[in-house]
Homo-oligomer: A and B are copies of this chain.
């Protein structure tokens, strides 16, 4: 981050106190983006508190339509209902919105962007750009180089998702529940699997096959996000995608067991690994002989997407497995959003 007094970008961060919002500030600090003024925004409850950014203290204000006058870029991560109301207000006032919620992702006029995959879709923005779902981002970042080289027929993914996808309070609940179980007490269940849903279950030492609400087709909304967003980001509606999303008792970083079928039968695992070694934003961690493979505890706090366990289906020539792990709050949210802001500047879509 380059903090300037006279020139640079005016950047608003909406939901600045949340698990993703705090990380958006960190990612902005580590970015070469020139920031003139930071506008930390949140709900009325947090207004008046302060945040540190670039060695300066900034006062949080309540996010309102008027907050977005003279803003160049507004990063939103305060929930879908806030984005639905305020993102159009920000765009109307000339800000480019980078929205981390699912509110606009499938809108035709809204680019859904993972810079390593479809940066050029940013040229088609109309004021709002959507940051994809965390579990989708890490998967498409790893699969795009393979799709480009060998084509992708289908994707079948099973996720091992961290509770932080449900917010900072979900991490606290997992910790509290874990303590209770270790003490032989009955854990209190308030948030997981979905705060707004009817029933709540123990997350500690458990696996819950529900992330977000169930849809009429018996898939969860999280699963449908992975299915629909993958096709949109890759601009490939013909790829067959299906998903099972499971929450596991991990605080940060999602794991994904991904099965793909490519368009060719003469490719081996080493060919895929070679692509992944050179893929932007991807780190290949794949050395079974030395027990090297990605794990959530190692990926947390890092910006890259880690890929390992690459191997061919013993019975299917064009079928391959990959194990993909990434920090859901960074590449899955805060970092991808700041990356989009960097791309906007690089492509001349915003000027400092």
Within 8 A of B (CB), among A307-321: 308-311, 313-316, 319, 321
* A314 with B249: CB separation less than 8 A: no
Oligomeric state, in copies: 2
Asked, given contacts A154-B316, A269-B218, A289-B214, whether A250 binds B206 with beta carbons under 8 Å apart, the answer is yes
- The stretch of A56-64, A290-298, A334-342 in contact with B is A290-298
Q: In the complex, what distance in Å separates the CA atom of A291 from the CA atom of B296?
A: 27
Number of interface residues of A (CB under 8 A): 60
Q: In the complex, what distance in Å separates the CA atom of A311 from the CA atom of B216?
A: 11
Which of B206, B209, B255, B295 is close to A309, meaning CB atoms less than 8 Å apart? B209
- The stretch of A23-31, A35-43, A240-248 in contact with B is A240-248
Which of B197, B206, B240, B244 is close to A291, meaning CB atoms less than 8 Å apart? B197
- The stretch of A71-79, A111-119, A175-183, A274-282 in contact with B is A175-183
CB distance from A274 to the nearest CB of B (A): 15
A163's nearest neighbour on chain B, judged by CB, is B205
Tell me whether A103 is interfacial, beta carbon within 8 Å. Answer: no
CB distance from A58 to the nearest CB of B (A): 29
Interface residues of A, Cβ cutoff 8 Å to B: 154, 156, 158, 160, 174-175, 178-179, 182, 193, 197-199, 201-202, 205-210, 214, 217-219, 227, 240-242, 244, 246, 248-251, 255, 257, 259, 269, 288-291, 293-297, 308-311, 313-316, 319, 321, 323, 325
Could you jot down 17 A-B contacts, CB within 8 Å?
A: A202-B297, A206-B250, A206-B297, A207-B250, A207-B255, A207-B295, A208-B295, A209-B255, A209-B294, A209-B309, A218-B269, A241-B315, A242-B259, A244-B321, A244-B323, A246-B255, A246-B257
